[in-house]
Structure 1
Amino acid sequence: MYSSMTNIQQALETEKVLIEHLGTYLQEESYRLNDLNRFYEKVREFHEKARTPVSDPVVAYTLLKRLQSEWTNVVNNLEAGDNIKVLKDGYEKLERHLPILEDVEGAARALMRLQDVYALNVKDLAKGVFQSGPESLYNLQYRPAQVCAMSADDCFHIGKVAYDMEDYYHSIPWLEEAVSMFRGSYGSWFTEDEGSLEDALDYLAFSYYKAGNVSQALDLSRECLLYDPDNQRLAYNIAKYEKIMDETPAIEHIEEQQLHRPNVTHLRTRDLYEGLCQTHGSQPWLYEDPRMICSYDTNRSPYLILQPLKKEILSLAPYVVLYHDFVSNYEAEKIKGIASPWLHRSVVASGEKQAEAEYRISKSAWLKDTVDPVIRNLDVRIAAATGLNARPPYAEYLQVVNYGIGGHYEPHFDHATSPKSPLYRTNTGNRMATFMIYVSSIYLVGFIS
């Protein structure tokens, strides 16, 4: 090549092309690094500004989703290299500790449950605002908006979870919000995302179709086909929707089906307890009674003479009493620390056996009084307050229940209602009383006699 100036000139032109390729590569690399830096700043800002993330359902959901899918997408999209190998190796060592898909889908269903129970608005929820009426359900003063707000992909995932359950009552508003957010940032693709505008439009269109709104399904499918013109399935759906519209009288296009929330047999009391939850704990004045007082109470027990209980009567019929500061902060933390390694999915009675159920979402552990003096002292205090024998076999062990995001237990009886229950085959007999202690907003200790 060096023997000919013509060839050297050609080499110069070749290098110009290589420079162009390198420039394109550097530009694309800068886009990739900027995108990674954006993800890094988003996560770093979350940890710096969200001081109590696990107590906030939206923050908890986005955290689980980020650990289960977004980090996976980011790490697996990185190109080969020594520095990237170190990151991937570190990620793989932590992989077994990360949430699984079931955790994220459960968190999505929990947000839908909160949405219903407290009559919350999807647009507000997407912004991290839990507003129902004049008050917010959560103390939002410490929460920066950018830390709590959901992304389009977050909303898309919740809508898809509802769609997969054939729950179009919930899938439509969440997918609508996802479409709106994707439209606002169309052309910007984030490495951690799994969904896209096309995906959201596709799922939303079919949700509307299943809900009986063929006209809206047709419009959304046509929009989706603009972004994905080679999608034969979309083209087939559009033809099907057009045929339905041609064959259906115009009056029926207006009278679309009204969406109803999914219902199952164990939700017979749903309207009652949701109405109570939406009062935010307040009660009408007509429930006030001068006999509902606060007092110091010893229940005639020598154990409580020096430190009587702070008693508040909440209801006279049925008789409900609240004892304030029943456990100290130290005892509460001790109980949580002891129970934490033993927590497992809570179960319910199912004939003669026990099984997991969707109407009880929590984890629980049973603690013997021999585990720690704190547990033994608590049993003595419960016995003094109630006048009941708190030791087995007269009472069950302390049950510690930990509720996560949207955790709940539908209204139920603590005592056995079926002759097939194992309680009928024991010498202790059926349950007669339950004593509950709230050791935090998500931990509950129960004593059952």
Structure 2
Amino acid sequence: MRIIYWSLIGFIYFLPVYADLFTSIADLQKLLAVEKNIPELINSYIATENDRLDQLKNFVSKYKDGNDDLHKNMNIVSNPINAFRMIKRLTNAWKELEEKMRNDHAEEFLNNVTNSELHIFPKDEDLAGAAIGILRLQDTYRLDTHELANGYVQKSKISKPLSAHDCFEIGRMAYNVEDYYHTLLWMGEALERIKSEDPPTAAESDILEYYAFALYKQDNVKRALLATDRLYEIHPTHSRAKGNIKWYEDQLAAEGVKKSEYRKKVPPLINIRPVDNFESTERSVYEALCRNEIPVVSILIYLNKS
């Protein structure tokens, strides 16, 4: 277990800098401290909001008493002066009510957080960096997606299992950088996990849209068509499902596939890991070292020759 731990520590430092937040263990420890303070921050906001809501309740009570008095003597509106006073009262009351209802302190609260030491709240690019880190870990140790999603690295438990939505997010980050190899792996895992979740943490229709396109990009056109059929079945009003079905059918027609065979004789899944991003000799050597496939002395000989 200790070997796995130190390998992972080294792996984190090896990762390219995708976001400042993920450059060191120290940064992650700071983020952990921020997460610990979230309940206190929210409780502070709730207390402020409760005060505001109490003011609104008092306003309602006071205004209701005034309304009761008015309705006891409806003749007062026939007097122009009284009519003016009532309209003025209503106008001012609405302004006060509008101010109290709009002043929910949310913007002030968020600004205080942004301008404080808590400004390191992660953003989308940080999430992308963390997801890419998982993909690099997976490739370095040649990890099975299902095992990694269950929190295992080389048979060692390193975390709790991921949810279907976690897997969906990792797949989506891979998709955003046109890494369809990993998109297929993680969207496929997400599809499997929603079957055992109650309620599901991710929508099947959302997963299928990414999954189908990744299938197509990895030369699995028939499978992409079947996945989109399923998408259309569960979400017939989906804005792209029907058009994508026709697109995949047209692709099969262009390949000479008969219409009657579009959904038959589906070939095995093709999902080849791209070469372009992994051609670096240094990286290949590093991955082999992490997997204990070559001794450290071989690394030193290689570096001396370089």
Normalising by structure 1, what TM-score?
Answer: 0.39
The corresponding residue for 1:243 is 250
CA displacement, residues 174-215 of structure 1 (integer Å, 9 cap, x when unaligned) = 0111122223336x266xxxx522111110001001111011
CA distance in 2, matches of 1:92, 1:122: 40
Could you tell me which amino acid in structure 1 is paired with residue 162 of structure 2? M
CA distance in 2, matches of 1:255, 1:272: 32
Q: Displacement, 1:264?
A: 3.9
Could you tell me which amino acid in structure 2 is paired with residue 172 of structure 1? L
More strand per residue: 1
Q: Displacement, 1:162?
A: 0.8
Q: 1:209 aligns with which of 203, 216, 232?
A: 216
Residue 233 in 1 paired to residue 240 in 2? yes
Residue 270 in 1 paired to residue 295 in 2? no
Q: Is the 8 A contact 1:117 1:277 kept in 2?
A: yes
Could you tell me which amino acid in structure 2 is paired with residue 93 of structure 1? N
The corresponding residue for 1:168 is 180
CA distance in 2, matches of 1:265, 1:278: 16
Residue 221 in 1 paired to residue 193 in 2? no
Name the % identity: 28
Residue 151 in 1 paired to residue 158 in 2? no
* CA spacing shift, 1:182–1:265, aligned 2, 3 Å: closer
CA displacement, residues 227-271 of structure 1 (integer Å, 9 cap, x when unaligned) = 211124110111222233345347996377552224248623433
Could you tell me which amino acid in structure 1 is paired with residue 188 of structure 2? E
* CA spacing shift, 1:258–1:108, aligned 2, 3 Å: closer
Q: Displacement, 1:218?
A: 1.0
* CA spacing shift, 1:153–1:262, aligned 2, 3 Å: farther
CA displacement, residues 304-333 of structure 1 (integer Å, 9 cap, x when unaligned) = xxxxxxxxxx749958xxxxxxxxxxxxxx
SS of 2:183's equivalent?
helix
SS of 2:152's equivalent?
coil
* CA spacing shift, 1:315–1:232, aligned 2, 3 Å: closer
More helix per residue: 2
The corresponding residue for 1:200 is 207
Normalising by structure 2, what TM-score?
Answer: 0.55
* CA spacing shift, 1:262–1:154, aligned 2, 3 Å: farther
- Please list every run of 5 or more consecutive structure 2 residues that lacks an aligned counterpart in the other structure: 1-7, 13-27, 54-103
CA distance in 2, matches of 1:317, 1:246: 52
Number of aligned residue pairs: give it: 211
Q: Displacement, 1:220?
A: 1.0
* CA spacing shift, 1:222–1:152, aligned 2, 3 Å: same
CA distance in 1, matches of 2:182, 2:152: 18
SS of 2:171's equivalent?
helix
Q: Which runs of 4+ in 1 moved over 6 A?
A: 54-57, 86-89
Q: Displacement, 1:100?
A: 1.4
Q: Displacement, 1:223?
A: 1.1
Residue 105 in 1 paired to residue 139 in 2? no
CA distance in 2, matches of 1:151, 1:90: 31
The corresponding residue for 2:267 is 254
* CA spacing shift, 1:318–1:165, aligned 2, 3 Å: closer
What is the root-mean-square deviation in Å for CA atoms of aligned residues?
Answer: 4.3
* CA spacing shift, 1:265–1:129, aligned 2, 3 Å: closer
